[in-house]
Amino acid sequence: MTPIEYIDRALALTADRLSRYPGYEVLLFAQKQLQYMRSVLLDRSLDRSALHQLTLGSIAVKEFDETDPDLARALKDAYYVGVRVSRGLRVDLP
C-alpha cells in the first residue's frame, strides 16, 4: 500500500463510523486531521507544519484500541505516515 492508501483507508473507516454515530466529536476531529494529511500528501506546496501536531495516535489508543481495533489500527498507520512525512523520511509500512 502507498502512504495515500493508508490515509484513504483510515478516512473510509472514519466515514463509516460517522455514518453510524453522526456528530461524534472524536471521529470528526480524526477525520479533519486525516483530510489535512491527505491534502499535504497530494500537494507538496501546502504548509506541513501542522503535521508535527497530529494526535491521531493518541486518539487511536485512548478511544478505539479496545472498542474498535480495525479503526485503531488504521488511525495508527495513518499517524505513522504523518510522522514520517513530517520528518521528511520514507514511509516503510508493509
Asked if the structure places residue 56 within a domain, the reply is yes
Q: Is 93 contained in some domain?
A: no
Query: Is residue 33 one of the residues assigned to a domain?
Result: yes
Residue 2 has pLDDT above 70, yes or no: yes
Per-residue pLDDT of 15-57, as tens digits, reads 999 999 999 999 999 999 999 999 999 988 788 788 888 889 9
Domains contained in the chain, number = 1
HSE-CB at 48 with a 13 A cutoff on CA atoms is 15
Angle of the 25-42 helix axis to the 3-20 helix axis, nearest 10: 150
- Asked if residue 88 has pLDDT above 70, the reply is yes
Whole-number pLDDT of residue 91? 81
pLDDT reported for residue 37: 93
Q: Is the pLDDT of residue 92 over 70?
A: yes
> Is-contact 28 44, C-beta < 8 A?
no
SS3 of residue 18 by DSSP: helix
Distance, CA of 88 to CA of 65 (rounded, Å): 28
Q: Which pLDDT score is estimated for 94?
A: 63
Q: What pLDDT is stored for residue 87 in this prediction?
A: 82
The percentage of residues in the chain with a pLDDT greater than 70, rounded to a whole number, is: 98
Residue 26 lies in a domain: yes
Q: For residue 90, what is the DSSP state?
A: P
